[in-house]
Structure 1
Amino acid sequence: MQAFVYKSLRKADTYVYLAGHDDFGRIPVPVRGELGELRFVLEVALDPGRRLAREDADVVRANLVAHGFHLQMPPRPDFDPLTEDWGTDA
């Protein structure tokens, strides 16, 4: 399965995988509005066993089949439990 990857020029580190080249009609209008302009960056074969840097290729393939697109959001900052207020101070 081929996927076409586009970078959001409005949202940093946000990418959209599409099942069809320039098939932006598959992206829901509210999501498309949040992403702003999209720039093509990569065509990738999502064959079984393929590994991706930040996403599970099986999940990406499933979303492409079911919805025609997959949205890759920026990675979350590492959660450090020592920085949270646990409410235990007097």
Structure 2
Amino acid sequence: MKRLCEIFRSSRKEEMYLYVDRARGLADVPEALMAQFGEPRSVMVLMLDSGRKLARADAAEVLDKIEQQGFYLQMPPSEAELRRRERADG
């Protein structure tokens, strides 16, 4: 499956992103989530297929969530993930 997706960055939480179908936009994202997410800032539009490599998400899972609920929410990394990054970079 392929889908043209738009990715939005949260204005309230660092490294929190929403992936949505470009044609539907944010229409399927619940109001309660948007209130926590803050002002969405578009960062990228891409053609996503299940084989595409993403930095912190599984493309097949992203596509499945968009199909099921209309969006995929990528949460910020955990403290353990941040420590692993620091060790790998340092």
TM-score, normalised to structure 1's length? 0.80
The alignment yields a C-alpha RMSD, in angstroms, of: 1.7
For structure 2, the residue ranges without an aligned partner over 5 or more in a row are 84-90
- 1:20 deviates by 2.5
For structure 1, the residue ranges without an aligned partner over 5 or more in a row are 81-90
State the identity %.
34
Task: State the number of aligned residues.
Answer: 80
**Equivalent residues of 2:8, 2:19 under 8 A apart:** yes
- 1:67 deviates by 1.1
Structure (1 or 2) with the greater helix fraction: 2
TM-score, normalised to structure 2's length? 0.80
Larger Rg computed on CA atoms: 1
Q: Write out the 4+ residue segments of structure 1 that deviate beyond 4 Å after TM superposition.
A: none
- 1:21 deviates by 4.9
